[in-house]
Amino acid sequence: MAELNATAPDLCRELLEHKRLAQKHRQRLAWASLITHTLVGQLSGLVALSIVAIVACRAIDNGAATQAATIVCTGAATIVAVFVTRRVVGGRTDRQSESTDTTEELPKA
């Protein structure tokens, strides 16, 4: 890089600026992805839990306490399974993407 800076300082500055902008763009995309996944996950979990609770309350109101308990347990187990599976699969993907280096090396002059 020092040789490139000595021979073509404008090109060197342009390359460094491009690399800085690309890094900033990757960080923004990662941040947006994190927010979206977290927000969507939290909201979908809340909606699913609310639906299970409403259905169980309706079953209790109709005198079917055993069925209400079954609804709550089955719904809770399903929700937990979905989120645990998502964490396990997502964790493997995140670790794999971290180990892959996407930075480009400048050619030697």
Host domain of residue 18: 2-97
Q: Does the residue 60 lie in any domain? A: yes
Q: Does the residue 6 lie in any domain? A: yes
Question: Residue 94's pLDDT is what?
Answer: 47
Q: Does the residue 54 lie in any domain? A: yes
Question: Minimal CA–CA distance to 74: which of 47, 51, 90?
Answer: 51
- Two tokens at 6? 């000595």
Whether 79 has a pLDDT exceeding 80, the answer reads no
Question: Residue 67's pLDDT is what?
Answer: 87
- Two tokens at 54? 């409403």
Average pLDDT, the chain: 78
Weakest-pLDDT range from 38-42, 72-76, 80-84, 103-107: 103-107
Q: Does the residue 26 lie in any domain? A: yes
Tell me the pLDDT tens digit for each residue of 28-57: 999 988 888 888 877 887 888 888 889 889
